[in-house]
A and B are shown apart, each in its own frame.
Chain A
Amino acid sequence: MPSSRLYGLRDGDMSFADKLSNISWPLVVLLTAIAAVGFAMLYSAGSGNAEPWAMRHVVRFSVTLIIMLSLALIDLRFWFHQAYTIYAVVLVLLAAVDLIGMIGMGAQRWLDFGVFIIQPSELMKLAAILALARYFHTLPLEELCNRPLSLAVPLVLVLVPVALVVKQPDLGTAIMILFGSAAMMFLAGVRWWKFAAVMVAGLGALPLAWQFLHDYQKDRVLTFLDPERDPLGRGYHILQSKIALGAGGVFGKGFLQGSQSHLNFLPEKQTDFVFTMLGEEMGLIGGLGLIFLYVLVIGYGYSIALRCRHHFGRLLALGVSTTFFLYMFVNMAMVTGLIPVVGVPLPLVSYGGTAMLTVMLGFGLVLSVGIHKDIYIGRRGDAGNW
């Protein structure tokens, strides 16, 4: 306790008004602005109709916005205490997918709860961040550096769900959990050489991993390496996407005017390839504008993380920001042909509920970190009476 006084950390409850005024409203406005871009693009994807996508996008955003704000107001110590429980529950759900999940589009990713359908792998992105943030919060740096075994726990925390997700198979999500977690470990202070060692080992294991890839995954990688390999088959998506972007030029063809999108040359224009459509209709200006909005959001994530005075909050905020960055980067790199096609949506713009929920839940936590930045959280979460 004295130490908390020493650092001037608060340990008492904040009033509701206090919390509300401490919400980072500019971040909320930015997220809403990105969702608005999504609305415009989905309106265009529906050929100038709010149906079937744009309207539902708005409804989903509104609902998840309320959930996000509600999460933000919950005391951060609750999340700290429940981090492992939440992780365990999500892991069970993930395992359940393997046993009883629905099969859709060639993969088994969804759980049907009757009223709603969830994709536990999406939730695992957040659950893994929560669990890692708590673990590194409680682990002193000396132990992290001096006791190699202290890394065993986080590695297991990450690799078990990654293995389950790969098995679904959902390579995109698995990579995002892996990279998000790696960023967490990096921030926590894991030594450089350990990353280097893992990378070398990873490269060495690549030929072995190739054996375990599904044919369609191998195909995607091969197609990425040589898109002309099969211009009417797998390479088609990348090629048409590049054509659409290039045809957009600097200023674009104009809203609702994209021939590639509206004549259906562009696949999945309302989901994974929505950025291509933006690029075709709004040009380079529109594309860079959207990237700028994302950069501002990530910037706010950094700002909240750096102003937070406890390790749990900092790691949590940057973990979520990094995941958000990964969503954005992997999607854009994919549609511009920089990396192979992996099914990752553009956060808040692509049509789809689960990804939006994940992002908004994540930013609920980030906002909560912002509100509770000065709160005291002990080694074992021994502040408050949770």
Chain B
Amino acid sequence: MKKTEQNRDRVFTRRAAILGLAQSGLIGVLAGRLYYLQIIEADRYATLAEENRINIRLLPPARGRILDRFGTPMALNRQTYKVILIPEQTTDAAATFAALSQLITVGEGDRRRIIREIGRRRAFMPVTVRDDLNWDEVASIELNSPELPGIIIDAGQSRLYPQGALAAHVLGYVSAVSESEQTGDLLLELPDFRVGKNGIERRHDKLMRGKAGTSEVEVNALGRVVRELRRHEGGSGSDVVLTLDMDLQQFAMGKLPEEGAAAVVVSVHSGEVLAMASTPSFDPNKFSRGIAPNEWRELISDARTPLLNKAIHGQYAPGSTFKIIVALAALEAGLQPNFTTSCHGYTEIGENRFHCWKHGGHGEVNLHGAMAGSCDVFFYELGLKVGVDRIAAMARKMGLGSTLGIDLPGEAAGFIPTREWKRTVLKQPWWQGDTLITSIGQGAVLSTPLQLAIMAARVANGGKAVMPRLTRELRDGSITTSGDAEILPSSLGISPESLAIVAEAMSGVVNEPGATAYGSRIPIPGFAMAGKTGTSQVRRITVSERETGIKANEDLPWAQRDHALFVAFAPVERPQYACAVVVEHGGSGAKVAAPIARDILLEVQKKDPLQNPANPVATGGSNA
């Protein structure tokens, strides 16, 4: 018994010692672990703790404004309130969103977008639920904020175009960054960040975006901001000052019919675009807010193409306005100004008859008379004498057939046919008939209203290679840089005599009784304009139609009617302004386009924006 007890005691004591040793060993391991974590790895973990604690948030910069030449704001930023959802701050984003939907109305399309974005974006990137909250909605969300984790009211900025549709094609619009535009730049992932999608907004997008600021905030584990530690203010984007005169732009828009038309006014010496109007237009404000799908469908399905800037995208056969080019080419090729020919109403080439617009013909005409009466037969003759290649070369000199490098995306080049082109592209020989058609600006010839305005300007300024300019200045804070490099236009190498004869003839078109545009003359001394009408055919007039009588334009369906064109400059003495007007399917250039050009040129001369002290713009913040 005793022995057993003693034996058990001994075993117990020994084993207790072993157990104690084992426990000491384990405590040693713990101490070693603490030493490793708190001394050896201390620096690494201290850094990680700081990274945990500090969160860097982007402060979206204010987008630069767009101003007209006198400083009238055309695009600016407006304070708005929106509600955003930060998925990582709520345990169940869908449930939180459902609770929020009880307080404010959220459209079905938005609902789908939000659910998609919650799934797609990184959890810490906020998702915009709705923009443009009114005060009642802001108040009701703030009131219920305890039940809405991760829901935040954010004061933001939204793009505002005070003039609405008046300059929409020049300004373009901004809208949300599309997935294909994401570059990994976090700024682009901010929910209400907008980028320019068209017009000036797109062309100068990078400059107007500005530089994002950052805010270093201390956050807790839920991402809620505890306090701000540091703040680096970003820079707002550059303001863009345009050459446009907003008043003139508005005037021009008011003159154009809604069915589809374009007008461009440029300074003949500097190429500054003072007005660029295109109808029908659209309200760019709708895009900044996010355009509704049905409104978008309506815009893109409209046959009158309201989204298209017809002044630079619209390509039209220049019609008789092209006779300016043919006349110049002929004079430069040695044509005597007093050369006359006889017009009987048509010219025959082989078995084909090429008609003059005037049934019965103009009789004996010289260049001046042929321009004033827009005699087709005279210019058929001229075309055959000069040849299409010289005409094409002159057209290119005068700004047709290639883009002019205006500060807008997607400028169309127009088209000037040549023998080379027909042989290599169409694989056909060039017929004399082609030359005839080309001589009256029909057939393959295409031009934009901007090109036509530049053509008129180059006639008016004595043959200087003026280029169109739309951006006057870029203002980044106090630094102002001139937008387009202001190069003194070089000479086109056309003799002043030829230009003077053509300019004289253009004056005759408007100011001589019986000439095509006499009805649209400006009878005020010193304000008179010179111009050239054009009516470009959209359809081919058949032989049978000639015999039975050509249908009056008014009797045709709208889409088959002729385009009405007019190019002009004013004043006749010492010209300052050039203008081109195209009215789609408007009918006669003289009846429809010329009066519009007259009104615009009278208005611009009265106001004379080039002489007024240019843009005494108040320098200030970018926010209105």
Q: A: which residues have CB within 8 A of B?
A: 3, 6, 140-142, 183, 186-189, 240, 242-250, 259-260, 263-266, 279, 283-284, 287-288, 291, 295, 298, 302, 305-306, 311, 314-315, 318, 322, 325, 329, 332-333, 336-338
Query: Which of A142, A311, A338 is close to B12, meaning CB atoms less than 8 Å apart?
Result: A311
Stretch in B27-35, B131-139, B360-368, B503-511 with 4+ CB within 8 Å of A: B27-35
A-B contacts besides A263-B219, A264-B220, A322-B19, 5 pairs, CB < 8 Å: A140-B8, A246-B41, A246-B48, A259-B53, A263-B52
Q: Is the CB of A243 within 8 A of B48?
A: yes
Q: Is the CB of A242 within 8 A of B45?
A: yes
Q: Is the CB of B42 within 8 A of A249?
A: yes
Q: Is the CB of A336 within 8 A of B30?
A: yes
A140 to B29, CA, bound (A): 36
Q: Is the CB of B8 within 8 A of A263?
A: no
Query: Which B residues are in CB contact (< 8 Å) with A140?
Result: 4, 8
Q: Is the CB of B49 within 8 A of A287?
A: no
Report if B222 contacts A (CB, 8 A).
Answer: yes
Query: Which B residues are in CB contact (< 8 Å) with A249?
Result: 38-39, 42, 46
Query: Which of B12, B23, B49 is close to A259, meaning CB atoms less than 8 Å apart?
Result: B49
A250 to B219, CA, bound (A): 25
Q: Is the CB of B49 within 8 A of A247?
A: yes
Q: Is the CB of B42 within 8 A of A246?
A: yes
A337 to B45, CA, bound (A): 14
Query: Which A residues are in CB contact (< 8 Å) with B218?
Result: 259, 263
User: Nearest CB to that of A140 among chain B residues?
Assistant: B4
Q: B: which residues have CB within 8 A of A?
A: 1-2, 4, 7-8, 11-13, 15-16, 18-20, 23, 26-27, 29-31, 33-35, 37-39, 41-42, 44-46, 48-49, 52-53, 218-222, 226
Which secondary structure characterizes the binding site on chain B?
helix
Query: Which B residues are in CB contact (< 8 Å) with A246?
Result: 37-38, 41-42, 44-46, 48-49
Query: Which of B16, B26, B27, B48 is close to A247, meaning CB atoms less than 8 Å apart?
Result: B48
Q: Is the CB of A288 within 8 A of B49?
A: no
6 A-B residue contacts at CB 8 Å? A244-B45, A244-B49, A246-B42, A279-B37, A287-B34, A336-B30
Closest CB in chain A relative to B176 CB, distance in Å: 28
Query: Which of A141, A263, A325, A337 is close to B23, meaning CB atoms less than 8 Å apart?
Result: A325
Closest CB in chain A relative to B556 CB, distance in Å: 69
Query: Which A residues are in CB contact (< 8 Å) with B30?
Result: 291, 329, 332-333, 336, 338
Q: Is the CB of B35 within 8 A of A284?
A: yes
Q: Is the CB of B220 within 8 A of A265?
A: yes
Closest CB in chain B relative to A298 CB, distance in Å: 7
The answer to whether residues A336 and B37 also contact, given A183-B19, A260-B52, A302-B16 and a CB cut-off of 8 A, is yes
Interface hub of A186, A249, A318, A338 (most chain B Cβ within 10 A): A249
Q: Is the CB of A260 within 8 A of B34?
A: no
Query: Which of A283, A295, A333 is close to B38, meaning CB atoms less than 8 Å apart?
Result: A283
A284 to B40, CA, bound (A): 12
Query: Which A residues are in CB contact (< 8 Å) with B41?
Result: 246
A337 to B32, CA, bound (A): 12
A184 to B532, CA, bound (A): 114
Interface hub of A142, A248, A263, A291 (most chain B Cβ within 10 A): A263
Q: How many A-B residue pairs have CB under 8 A?
A: 131
Interface hub of A3, A246, A250 (most chain B Cβ within 10 A): A246
The answer to whether residues A250 and B221 also contact, given A305-B16, A322-B19, A329-B30 and a CB cut-off of 8 A, is no
Q: Is the CB of B19 within 8 A of A284?
A: no
Query: Which A residues are in CB contact (< 8 Å) with B8?
Result: 140-141, 189, 311
Query: Which A residues are in CB contact (< 8 Å) with B16?
Result: 187, 302, 305-306, 314, 318
The answer to whether residues A187 and B12 also contact, given A259-B49, A263-B219, A332-B30 and a CB cut-off of 8 A, is yes
Query: Which A residues are in CB contact (< 8 Å) with B13?
Result: 306
A187 to B26, CA, bound (A): 18
A336 to B175, CA, bound (A): 51
Query: Which A residues are in CB contact (< 8 Å) with B34?
Result: 245, 279, 284, 287-288, 336
Interface hub of B15, B31, B49 (most chain A Cβ within 10 A): B49
Query: Which A residues are in CB contact (< 8 Å) with B48?
Result: 243, 246-247
Query: Which A residues are in CB contact (< 8 Å) with B7?
Result: 141
A287 to B35, CA, bound (A): 10
Q: Is the CB of B27 within 8 A of A243?
A: no
A337 to B41, CA, bound (A): 14
Query: Which A residues are in CB contact (< 8 Å) with B49?
Result: 243-244, 246-247, 259-260, 265
User: Nearest CB to that of A142 among chain B residues?
Assistant: B4
Query: Which of B4, B15, B37, B226 is close to A187, meaning CB atoms less than 8 Å apart?
Result: B15
User: Nearest CB to that of B51 among chain A residues?
Assistant: A243
The answer to whether residues A263 and B220 also contact, given A141-B8, A246-B38, A338-B29 and a CB cut-off of 8 A, is yes
Closest CB in chain A relative to B471 CB, distance in Å: 48
User: Nearest CB to that of B35 among chain A residues?
Assistant: A284
Interface hub of A243, A250, A283 (most chain B Cβ within 10 A): A243
Q: Is the CB of A279 within 8 A of B15?
A: no
Q: Is the CB of B222 within 8 A of A186?
A: no
Closest CB in chain B relative to A189 CB, distance in Å: 4
The answer to whether residues A242 and B37 also contact, given A189-B11, A264-B222 and a CB cut-off of 8 A, is yes
A206 to B284, CA, bound (A): 69
Query: Which B residues are in CB contact (< 8 Å) with A283?
Result: 38
Closest CB in chain A relative to B6 CB, distance in Å: 10
Q: Is the CB of B46 within 8 A of A329?
A: no
Query: Which B residues are in CB contact (< 8 Å) with A266?
Result: 221
Q: Is the CB of A247 within 8 A of B219?
A: no
Query: Which B residues are in CB contact (< 8 Å) with A337?
Result: 33
Closest CB in chain A relative to B385 CB, distance in Å: 82
Query: Which of A3, A188, A264, A315 is close to B1, meaning CB atoms less than 8 Å apart?
Result: A3
Q: Is the CB of A248 within 8 A of B38?
A: yes
User: Nearest CB to that of A143 among chain B residues?
Assistant: B4
Closest CB in chain A relative to B579 CB, distance in Å: 64
Q: Is the CB of A250 within 8 A of B39?
A: yes
Query: Which A residues are in CB contact (< 8 Å) with B33?
Result: 333, 336-338
User: Nearest CB to that of B123 among chain A residues?
Assistant: A232
A249 to B222, CA, bound (A): 25
A89 to B63, CA, bound (A): 76
Q: Is the CB of A247 within 8 A of B221?
A: no
Closest CB in chain A relative to B432 CB, distance in Å: 79
The answer to whether residues A186 and B37 also contact, given A247-B42, A247-B48, A265-B221 and a CB cut-off of 8 A, is no
The answer to whether residues A264 and B12 also contact, given A242-B45, A288-B34 and a CB cut-off of 8 A, is no
The answer to whether residues A291 and B38 also contact, given A259-B53, A263-B218 and a CB cut-off of 8 A, is no
Query: Which A residues are in CB contact (< 8 Å) with B15?
Result: 186-187, 189
Interface hub of A243, A247, A295, A338 (most chain B Cβ within 10 A): A247
The answer to whether residues A291 and B27 also contact, given A245-B37, A246-B44 and a CB cut-off of 8 A, is yes
User: Nearest CB to that of A251 among chain B residues?
Assistant: B38
A183 to B16, CA, bound (A): 9
A140 to B3, CA, bound (A): 11
